[in-house]
Structure 1
Amino acid sequence: MTVITLSLHLAGATVLLLYAVHLVRSGVENAYGPSLKRVLAKGGERRVYAAASGTALAVLLQSSTAVAMLASGLAASGYLTLNTSLAVLLGADFGSALVVRVLSFDLGWMSPLLLAAGGLCYLKGRTDKFHEIGRMLLGIAFVLMSLKLIGEATVPLKRSEVLPAIVGYLAEDQVMSFVAAALFTWIVHSSVAVLILILGFAAQGLLPIEAGLPLILGANLGSGMIAIWLTRGFPAEARRVAAGNFLFRALGAAITLPVCGVLAGRIQALGTTPAEQLVHFHLVFNACLVLICLPLSQLAAGAVSSLVKSDPGRFDDNDPLAGRISALDEGLLDSPDAALAAATREVLFMGEMVERMLCPVMELLEHPNRRKLEEIRRLDEHVNRAHRGIKLYLAAINRGVLDEPQSRKGVELIDIAINLEHAGDIVSKTLVEIVRDKLENGNSFSNEGWTELKMLHASVRDNMRLAFNLLVSGDPAMARRLVREKERVRGLVRESRERHLARLRAGRPESVESSNMHLEIARALKEVNSLLATLAYPILKQRGDLLESRLRLAKVS
């Protein structure tokens, strides 16, 4: 096999591995994204629980970087403290190491089963969740297939005359090996993929322990670099999370790298082959990071906070909202009723910002405009800042003495703020990205499809105004109307999907080109509308007009 052929085979297997990991992560996030956020957010200050949650989520997502982005976003929104976020990421690092260990087993026999199950779920599933589960199963199958391809691609390297010289250099210059692995991991944005490549070379007898140890440490540090790069434009609260995790990894690498030579001769107990020894070394290294650094997370949080300063000038000077005075008056905290009224005003401000984000979406889909897209991004920052302020403000009220109605009102306002923040994320991270794709690719909708989407957008926009009027009035009749509108929008989405699929079956070229955009826009608008409908639930529940379940009660024979 020539060098070019071998390189192509290895590159193809590596790209398949990267794509497979992305499939698994996107499937889990799309199917269970809100649940994942709730799992992380309910940990409070319990660092052990936070670390365990990070481990479980990293195993599910097959990526510690994905967990780092979740934790960073929650920290920026005020759900997680920096101390807890660092604990989550320590657990995620260990979870990522567990994923690598599991994938190092010979699981090739599972590929056909996963392909069949994933394909059926993706093609025949009747709900979006089934499609995402299918995507996840297909991703795992592709991971296993890529591992087999990597093993087959590296077999001819055993006969290479150049390989001994390269391996000898890596074993002698451990610092260069460490730096190269860190940079390569940052470039491909997947430590799992890089570690599997390293283990694949070791399994073929191409990489001795002396060269493998610094490569493992470098890949581990490179994973921390990915999170720092991805959060570079985030608020300071999010950047501190990534920076703190990077410091933990760097500290572990700085302690371990100088003694790699000593460790190489003493880790035979970790496995019978170099591949087993390396994967177990990686697992033990991350377990030690959790045990040593978890008690130090509070200290690290203080150090990182002093290094990564807050950025009060984050908003553009030309932004008319930059100097806005918040309705959250701390002088009212001793008066619960007045404080709850102030929080309600701030929630209404959040709603106004989300409405301003949603309204121009259809215009931007027809005539994309980068300046207006940037304006939506700035509005989302205001929504996030208001959400964080509301949560902290209501927590301060709850430290006082509240009666039951006041306490219930505070919980309802927090829930509304959470849902509005989520709605803003859907607009800024889903709909805006679709506009960007359309701006780059120039795809167009069919006339029928465009009419359906405009009708759906107008319905959601009207329901948004209805929801905010309900927040002020608390009118039960208006609440019932909002819930009925939710069902009507759900029906519009279902009908639009069926018509769109009919156009696809008819081979309409414009429908084929815009298929993903059409379905994603409809789903995003439905999700926004469902979040708005939750404003009606407390009113209807208090009156006894809301069923606990939509399931029909089973007949008792």
Structure 2
Amino acid sequence: MKHLLDLLAAIALLVWGTHLVRTGVLRVFGSNLRQILASSMGNRFTAALSGLGVTALVQSSTATALITASFVGRGLIALPAALAVMLGADIGTSLMAVVFSFDLSWLSPLFIFLGVTLFIARQGTQVGDFGRVLIGLGLMLLALRLISGATGVLTQNPAVQMMLGSLTSDRMLEILMGAALAVVAYSSLAVVLLASTLALQVVGLDVALGIVLGANLGSGLLAVITTAKSGISTRQVPLGNLLFKVLGITIAIWLIPAWLQFMQPLVRDPATLTVLFHLSFNLMVGAVFIGLTKPVARMVNRLLPLKEGKGPLDRPNHLDPSALATPSLAISCAAREAMHQADVVETMLRGVLTVIRNNDAKLSQDLRKLDDTVDNLYSSIKYYLTKISRQQLSEAEGRRWTDIISFTINMEQIGDTVERVLLDIEDKKIRKGRSFSEAGMAEITELHARLLDNMRLGMSVFLNGNVRDAQKLVEEKVRFRDMEREYAATHLDRLSGMTPQSMDTSSLHLDLISDLKRINSHICSIAYPILDSAGVLAPSRLREPSPPSHASRL
């Protein structure tokens, strides 16, 4: 029993090591990896090479599948190019299996020591995250040594030999076992490395090759399961990759005897043969299907057709659940959804002036309904952000997380204010058939135009984080406040002159320009996190109290 627990603990350590490497690489190189994938879609061969390189670093074809699927879901790349990326990704993970099959256990203490030192000394920085990668590599090498030792003891147990012997006559059972292990371990690489060790000491080479085929199938199933709740366009990439694997396994089953006949005279070590078979399988799948990405994409479109029609409810939802596995990517998804929320708010703001000019009660009601959309978007974005692991974010990404929360809160409050303004216009102007004076309408129009300009500037500041634009936005807050005071004073002058229209709409006019100023304050608040991060925001607007004079002390 103790030896079985030792084996299970070693397998768990191997899985944990691959997790540390994956998360560490994504923290250090996450944005660069996404740029590499996005910029290499010119043709299927460069796409496959980019998938190979990214997966060799991340050591997880599933992680590459999630990143690529999110790109397709956001309309950044076409499905055939994404499928080519996945062919390269599978080759990349098989190359890493070959590397880890060598006896590198002597590097394990060095990697763990350096990794822990860097992680503790520079925690929260890219150097610390690189230390996490070294820890993961060290643990993987240590786990492989422990697995080899534990299986060496277990193989001497007659009961274990009898149980494992039942696998030698059923290829489908071997494949299903490998697939299940890959899904449970969340890593086909770990299962392939485990199979190579088992081939050397326990189950034999033929069974290990069946487990390897199952591990490949499991990695495809894992990506499909992970993206099950995503949009259809996002789910198409894992489904296409799974089709590649199923077709490849169907071919490989018949080629195993010929492959063994060719390779066994050249390589005697069963463990090395196992990882080489894994590499050969993915090279074969890549070579056969690299020219068939378009037909497979058409097949996927038939199996998972996109909805026809592009009505207002068919817009892409940027809050992709599959992107949560890559926090830096999830931050970008949340920012895109926040920009959509801002677009809805801008639509509400633009419509206010039309309602005032035309006394359009129907438009006012339609605009007020948009506030429900703004509120729902705020709730969705907030909930999505809470599911992002803050510990896996870099310092800059952590600030971006806070900026998005602040931005969506301001947009939600602007939407509430606009809804209240529209209700006031309906109650105090439209239903009573009143109108503003010519001078009053000119003032409201000017304030409204400046408000829209500031709204566009605020969206630009949120999107780009430009410090100069943020400073300009804060300066606009002072100008807008001065304009509000000036127009309130001129309105009071018109009241003293007994202008009938000004008297009828006085309450609405003063409330309206005050609400526009309040909306502008929320827009200008977008700039404060940017300025604070840049260190150019004063801690307080209060003046320092002057020391008491000599006369006052007497």
In the superposition, relative to structure 1, how do residues 84 and 9 fare at CA in structure 2: closer, same or farther (>3 Å)? same
Q: Does the alignment pair 1:284 with 2:280?
A: yes
Instruction: Note if contact 2:227-2:234 (Cα within 8 Å) is conserved in structure 1.
Output: yes
- What does residue 184 of structure 1 align with? 181
Per-residue CA shift, 1:425-446, capped at 9, x if unaligned?
xx665434469xxxxxxxxxxx
Selected match of 1:12 from 9, 14, 30: 9
Per-residue CA shift, 1:50-85, capped at 9, x if unaligned?
111111111111111110011001110111110110
Per-residue CA shift, 1:177-199, capped at 9, x if unaligned?
11221122222221111111111
**AA in 2 matched with 1:470:** L
- What does residue 225 of structure 1 align with? 221
- Inter-partner Cα distance in structure 2 for 1:174 and 1:48: 33
Map residues 368-407 of structure 1 onto 2, 5 A cutoff: 379=377
Count of aligned residue pairs for this structure pair: 385
Map residues 448-463 of structure 1 onto 2, 5 A cutoff: none
Greater CA deviation, 85-94 or 36-45? 36-45
Q: Residue 458 of structure 1: CA displacement?
A: 5.6
Map residues 238-277 of structure 1 onto 2, 5 A cutoff: 238-269=234-265, 271-277=267-273
Selected match of 1:23 from 5, 13, 20: 20
- What does residue 88 of structure 2 align with? 91
- Inter-partner Cα distance in structure 2 for 1:179 and 1:38: 36
Q: Does the alignment pair 1:134 with 2:131?
A: yes
Instruction: Note if contact 1:270-1:280 (Cα within 8 Å) is conserved in structure 2.
Output: no
- What does residue 431 of structure 1 align with? 386
Map residues 313-352 of structure 1 onto 2, 5 A cutoff: 322=313, 349-351=340-342
Instruction: Note if contact 1:21-1:140 (Cα within 8 Å) is conserved in structure 2.
Output: yes
Per-residue CA shift, 1:229-253, capped at 9, x if unaligned?
0011111111110010000010010
Selected match of 2:457 from 470, 479, 484: 470
- Inter-partner Cα distance in structure 2 for 1:252 and 1:203: 25
**AA in 2 matched with 1:379:** L
- What does residue 211 of structure 1 align with? 207
In the superposition, relative to structure 1, how do residues 484 and 56 fare at CA in structure 2: closer, same or farther (>3 Å)? farther
In the superposition, relative to structure 1, how do residues 269 and 243 fare at CA in structure 2: closer, same or farther (>3 Å)? farther
Per-residue CA shift, 1:214-269, capped at 9, x if unaligned?
11111111110000000111111111100100000100101111443454444304
- What does residue 386 of structure 1 align with? none
Q: Does the alignment pair 1:67 with 2:55?
A: no
- Inter-partner Cα distance in structure 2 for 1:22 and 1:430: 22
Selected match of 1:307 from 295, 303, 308: 303
Q: Residue 16 of structure 1: CA displacement?
A: 1.1
Q: Does the alignment pair 1:295 with 2:297?
A: no
- What does residue 482 of structure 1 align with? 470
Instruction: Note if contact 2:179-2:215 (Cα within 8 Å) is conserved in structure 1.
Output: yes
- Inter-partner Cα distance in structure 1 for 2:276 and 2:189: 14
- What does residue 493 of structure 1 align with? none
- Inter-partner Cα distance in structure 1 for 2:345 and 2:459: 17
SS in 2 for 1:159: coil
Selected match of 2:192 from 195, 198, 201: 195
Root-mean-square deviation (CA), in Å? 4.2
Give runs of ≥4 in structure 1 deviating > 6 Å: 312-315, 323-326, 375-378, 453-457, 459-467, 483-486, 530-534
Q: Does the alignment pair 1:46 with 2:43?
A: yes
Q: TM-score, normalised by structure 1?
A: 0.61
- What does residue 148 of structure 1 align with? 145
- Inter-partner Cα distance in structure 2 for 1:473 and 1:69: 29
Per-residue CA shift, 1:89-137, capped at 9, x if unaligned?
0000000001111111111111122122212221112752122111111
- What does residue 444 of structure 2 align with? none
**AA in 2 matched with 1:120:** T
Per-residue CA shift, 1:123-159, capped at 9, x if unaligned?
1127521221111111111111111111111111231
- Inter-partner Cα distance in structure 2 for 1:269 and 1:133: 41
- What does residue 480 of structure 2 align with? none
- Inter-partner Cα distance in structure 1 for 2:4 and 2:233: 42
SS in 2 for 1:162: helix
Q: Residue 294 of structure 1: CA displacement?
A: 0.6
- What does residue 407 of structure 1 align with? none
- What does residue 331 of structure 2 align with? none
- Inter-partner Cα distance in structure 1 for 2:269 and 2:388: 46
**AA in 1 matched with 2:253:** L
Q: Residue 32 of structure 1: CA displacement?
A: 1.8
In the superposition, relative to structure 1, how do residues 473 and 148 fare at CA in structure 2: closer, same or farther (>3 Å)? closer
- What does residue 76 of structure 1 align with? 73
**AA in 1 matched with 2:457:** L
- Inter-partner Cα distance in structure 2 for 1:467 and 1:259: 66
- What does residue 232 of structure 2 align with? 236
Selected match of 1:115 from 106, 112, 116: 112
Per-residue CA shift, 1:245-300, capped at 9, x if unaligned?
00001001011114434544443045221111111111111111111111111111
**AA in 2 matched with 1:480:** R
In the superposition, relative to structure 1, how do residues 43 and 148 fare at CA in structure 2: closer, same or farther (>3 Å)? same
In the superposition, relative to structure 1, how do residues 470 and 52 fare at CA in structure 2: closer, same or farther (>3 Å)? same
- Inter-partner Cα distance in structure 2 for 1:259 and 1:455: 55
- Inter-partner Cα distance in structure 2 for 1:192 and 1:261: 24
SS in 2 for 1:178: helix
**AA in 2 matched with 1:254:** T
Per-residue CA shift, 1:162-215, capped at 9, x if unaligned?
3443343222111211122112222222111111111111233x2222212211
Map residues 164-179 of structure 1 onto 2, 5 A cutoff: 164-179=161-176
- Inter-partner Cα distance in structure 2 for 1:193 and 1:95: 14
* Bigger Cα Rg: 2
Gaps of 5+ in 1: 316-320, 327-345, 356-374, 383-423, 436-452, 487-525, 535-557
